[in-house]
Each structure stands twice: as C-alpha cells, then as structure tokens.
C-alpha cells in the first residue's frame, strides 16, 4: 500500500516540477529580464515574489518527499529517472527531445524546457534517485519491529 501511495506521490511530484517549477522559472526569468532584481522595489512587489514562492513551494514539496523516511522511494525515484532519461535524450537528440515538452507555448512548458536544456533537471533527477538505493526506504517500519523482537526475545532461551 505504501508503494501505491508512492506512485501517486510520484505523479504529484512530476506535476509540481512541471507546473510549479516550470511556471516559477519562466516568470522569474521574465521578471529578471524585464526589471532586474537589484533594486529593493523589485523584491517588494507581490507579482515579482510569486514566481519565487512557486519555486520555493516546489522545492519544499520535493524536499519533504526526499526526507521523510516513511514515503516510498518511488515517490522521488520515478520522476528522477524520467528527468535523467529526458536529459539524456536532450544530450543525444537536442531539439528533437525538446519538442516532446508538453504545453511548450505557455509559461509552464517554456520554463520546463529551459530547465531541461540548461541541465538543471539532470542535476535534480540525480538527486531524486538517491532514495532508490537506500534499503531502508523499501522496507516498512512494521517489519523492522518484528526483526528486533526476534533478536531480543529472552523467553525462548529460558524455556527448556
């Protein structure tokens, strides 16, 4: 059941990366190109802070999925493998791979494509697959409690 939930969390993580990360990156780039971010007035406008908030919320969600041990490794591993594979396709095929980015004509797709072509998503995907290689992320807590009870059981050694 934990891995089924992990699969649905993987879909949510992929959607957060595409919509939150893509929109935040595209809007943040637009704000930087139009006004610059050196003045204090650029950081006080709510419309300039929304892209930063989207990027921070996406990072917080991905960070929680990475840090919480009870979450299945599939939650971050599946999007990580997709990002690594898509980045490899960009390296091998270039512009052909960028044609597969959905909604490329709006902020979501443009930002995601820009992160993909810059290599940022390859780096993120490499970090996302780390929980796959941790055996503790594949086991449930209940199995560990049963293992400890068997090791420290004294009644079995006292009964003849």
Largest CA distance in the chain: 83
pTM: 0.73
- Higher-pLDDT residue of 134, 36: 134
Distance, C-alpha 62 to centroid of its chain: 4
Render pLDDT for 33-67 as a digit per residue (tens, 0 to 9).
776 666 666 666 677 778 888 889 999 999 998 88
Render pLDDT for 54-105 as a digit per residue (tens, 0 to 9).
889 999 999 998 888 888 888 888 899 989 988 888 888 877 777 777 887 8
């Amino acid at each position: 059941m934990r891995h089924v939930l992990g699969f649905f969390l993987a879909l949510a993580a992929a959607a957060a990366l595409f919509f939150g990360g893509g929109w935040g990156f595209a809007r943040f780039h637009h704000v930087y190109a139009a006004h610059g971010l050196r003045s204090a007035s650029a950081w006080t406008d709510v419309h300039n802070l929304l892209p930063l908030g989207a990027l921070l919320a996406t990072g917080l969600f991905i960070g929680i999925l990475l840090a919480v041990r009870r979450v299945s490794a599939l939650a971050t591993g599946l999007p990580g493998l997709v990002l690594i594979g898509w980045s490899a396709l960009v390296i091998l095929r270039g512009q052909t791979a960028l044609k597969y980015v959905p909604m490329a004509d709006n902020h979501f797709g443009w930002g995601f494509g820009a992160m993909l072509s810059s290599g940022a998503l390859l780096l993120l995907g490499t970090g996302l697959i780390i929980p796959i290689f941790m055996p503790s992320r594949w086991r449930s807590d209940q199995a560990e409690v049963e293992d400890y009870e068997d090791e420290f059981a004294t009644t079995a050694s006292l009964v003849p």
